[in-house]
């Protein structure tokens, strides 16, 4: 096992070996599991016959994802989780929206039929990119679910989810990881192929970006569009090998064994809750249709699809298993299919745990006061001369017995002269004064980027470093007793994942000034997909507002 921690290894071994990796479930649990598989399969077949040739990026071959997510939500709720933020690409998304988040089938059918959505003058987006939110009843109480909006880019939503989760967790002072859970789904080819995956994993245990553990689910259908040979798809044995860099467990499970899928889901969640680290489930399955439903996969994978087309579905296999063990009768299993189809045709939400009472989450995301506004709206931004002097004095304070570097001592003295009006303000001090005025009025500020504490050009010095014991002091955290939060993060050397994280944070925190700073302006090129697919177009496509600010310092050397 690649995990070096003895405690973690022994915990995993005990969990697996105590049941010999073959858990036993009651007949009622088995019947419920079959019902969830039935719902997943019937939806796909209903859409396939009703909307022939239309793209839906089917979940067929990976239907066990639906009972997996259902179990994950119910178990998370029983452990006290109150919010779950999910991210995924297009594969199986429509099935998850209907059978997990409770989106109305009637609304989905309307989208297939070209029904006009109320975009309020916006461009809108395709149905398998759309987000959704709902509330589910669990043994531990209501759980709020939020599915992040996602562009065609397969993995960029991961860090966006992490940022949204961190923003939610920051509301909780005690055990924030026990309140909000990130769940990110991936395809096997994209997980191995997209560099932003590694960047996001690299953030998982850092102070400024950790979310106390993510449950990652790989929908491993063993093919990426038309690429299925391992020698073409990756240079590692498994698509999940990149995860070993953060010493997180990887649970490989057969998608055609639904009971094993549920067991591994419980195990992965328990690990995450106990150790506050990422856990990865590799759901080994297949793709019954082509990349999309207008595609013919046998053109490029003839042998694979000869075998797949002779395979019974996961639901058919499990139903036969339950019938043979007398856990259910054939007539009852058949009735499940007909009932599931009837529920779809009725058009009402089909999720058994959905709450329709508009249950309010503890810390709602409310952008209403910003809706319909423009950046030109007038706002009072001035401060009095007295406030200016008070804030300047606070910024120039440091603890007693806190020796500073001689250069910083000289800088602080210059800033005292600026506070007294004896010298003009320079850019660095003016910026800190702006932040000080905001936090003194109760507004929160989050600034992250490479070398943001000192500033790339040694101009900011928002973080003071004691020269003997290497302690740090941030004057902006000590401006006023009831001030807003001030967080400054020296990020890892990443642009794409960090900017995506901050976008996710900003969309979730309307009352916080969220800033990402490129080390040099042209470094922003490494995050271009975030700028194109979220920041500049998110409002047009999805109606998503964001107050994210980007600082792009001029400079061409690195």
SS3 assignment, position 296: coil
In terms of domains, do 282 and 332 share one?
Answer: yes
Per residue in 245-283, pLDDT (tens digit) is 999 999 999 999 999 999 999 999 999 999 999 999 999
Q: What CA–CA distances, in Å, run from 438 to 48, 226, 305?
A: 54, 53, 61
Residue ranges of the alpha helices (H) in 297-384?
Answer: 302-309, 314-324, 330-346
pLDDT cut 70: percent of the chain above it: 97
In terms of domains, do 303 and 380 share one?
Answer: no
Give the E-state strand segments of 95-170 in sequence order. 132-138, 141-147
* First-residue to last-residue Cα distance in the chain: 39
Closest CA to 146 of 94, 184, 101, 104: 101
In terms of domains, do 95 and 150 share one?
Answer: yes
In terms of domains, do 314 and 189 share one?
Answer: yes
* Domain presence at residue 37: no
Q: Name the DSSP class of 246.
A: G
* Domain presence at residue 21: no
Distance CA 317, CA 320 (A): 5
In terms of domains, do 537 and 453 share one?
Answer: yes
Q: Could you say which residues of the chain have pLDDT below 50? A: none
In terms of domains, do 333 and 377 share one?
Answer: no
Domain boundary among 290, 322, 351: 351
Distance CA 501, CA 203 (A): 10
Number of structural domains, the chain?
Answer: 2
In terms of domains, do 344 and 393 share one?
Answer: no
CATH code, domain with 487: 3.40.50.12470
In terms of domains, do 406 and 538 share one?
Answer: yes
CATH code, domain with 75: 3.40.50.970
- Provide the domain limits for residue 532: 369-551
Q: Are 545 and 508 in contact (CB under 8 A)?
A: no
In terms of domains, do 322 and 384 share one?
Answer: no
* Domain presence at residue 8: no
């Amino acid at each position: 096992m690649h995990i070096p921690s003895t405690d973690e290894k022994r915990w995993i071994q005990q969990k697996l070996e105590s049941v010999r990796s073959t858990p036993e479930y009651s007949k009622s649990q088995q019947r419920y599991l079959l019902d969830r598989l039935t719902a997943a399969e019937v939806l796909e077949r209903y859409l396939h016959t009703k909307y022939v040739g239309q793209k839906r990026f089917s979940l067929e071959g990976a239907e066990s994802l639906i009972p997996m997510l259902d179990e994950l939500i119910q178990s998370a709720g029983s452990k006290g989780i109150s919010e779950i933020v999910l991210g995924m690409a297009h594969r199986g998304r429509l099935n998850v929206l209907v059978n997990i988040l409770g989106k109305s089938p009637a609304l989905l059918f309307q989208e297939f039929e070209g029904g006009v959505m109320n975009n309020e003058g916006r461009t809108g987006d395709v149905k398998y990119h759309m987000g959704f939110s709902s509330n589910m009843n669990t043994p531990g109480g209501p759980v709020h679910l939020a599915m992040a909006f996602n562009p065609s880019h397969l993995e960029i939503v991961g860090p966006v989810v992490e940022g949204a989760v961190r923003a939610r967790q920051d509301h909780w002072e005690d055990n924030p990881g026990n309140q909000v859970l990130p769940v990110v789904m991936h395809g096997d080819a994209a997980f191995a192929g997209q560099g932003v995956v590694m960047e996001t994993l690299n953030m998982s245990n850092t102070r400024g970006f950790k979310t106390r553990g993510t449950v990652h689910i790989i929908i491993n259908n063993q093919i990426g569009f038309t690429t299925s040979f391992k020698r073409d798809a990756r240079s590692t044995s498994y698509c999940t090998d990149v995860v070993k860099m953060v010493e997180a467990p990887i649970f490989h499970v057969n998608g055609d064994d639904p009971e094993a899928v549920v067991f591994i889901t419980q195990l992965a969640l328990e690990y995450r809750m106990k150790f506050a680290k990422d856990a990865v489930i590799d759901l080994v399955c297949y793709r019954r249709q082509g990349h999309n439903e207008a595609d013919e996969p046998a053109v490029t994978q003839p042998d694979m699809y000869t075998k797949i087309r002779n395979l019974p579905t996961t639901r058919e296999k499990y139903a036969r298993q339950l019938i043979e063990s007398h856990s259910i009768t054939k007539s009852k299993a058949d009735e499940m299919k007909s009932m599931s189809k009837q529920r779809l045709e009725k058009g009402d939400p089909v999720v058994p745990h959905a709450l329709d009472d508009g249950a309010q989450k503890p810390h709602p995301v409310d952008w209403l006061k910003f809706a319909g506004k423009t950046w030109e709206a007038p706002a009072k931004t001035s401060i009095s001369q007295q406030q200016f002097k008070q804030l300047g004095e606070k910024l120039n304070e440091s603890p007693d017995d806190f020796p500073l570097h001689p250069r910083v001592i000289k800088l602080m003295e210059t800033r005292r002269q600026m506070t007294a009006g004896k010298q003009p303000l320079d850019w660095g001090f003016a910026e800190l004064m702006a932040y000080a005025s905001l936090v003194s009025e109760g507004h929160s500020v989050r600034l992250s980027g490479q070398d943001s504490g000192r500033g790339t050009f040694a101009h900011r010095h928002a973080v003071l470093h004691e020269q003997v014991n290497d302690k740090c002091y941030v004057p902006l955290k000590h401006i006023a007793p009831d001030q807003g939060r001030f967080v400054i993060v020296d990020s890892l050397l990443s642009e794409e994942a960090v900017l995506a994280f901050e976008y996710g944070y900003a969309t979730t925190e309307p009352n916080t000034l969220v800033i990402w700073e490129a080390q040099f302006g042209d470094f922003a090129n490494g995050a271009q997909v975030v700028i194109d697919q979220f920041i500049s177009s998110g409002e047009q496509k999805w109606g998503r507002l964001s107050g994210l600010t980007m600082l792009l310092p001029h400079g061409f050397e690195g």
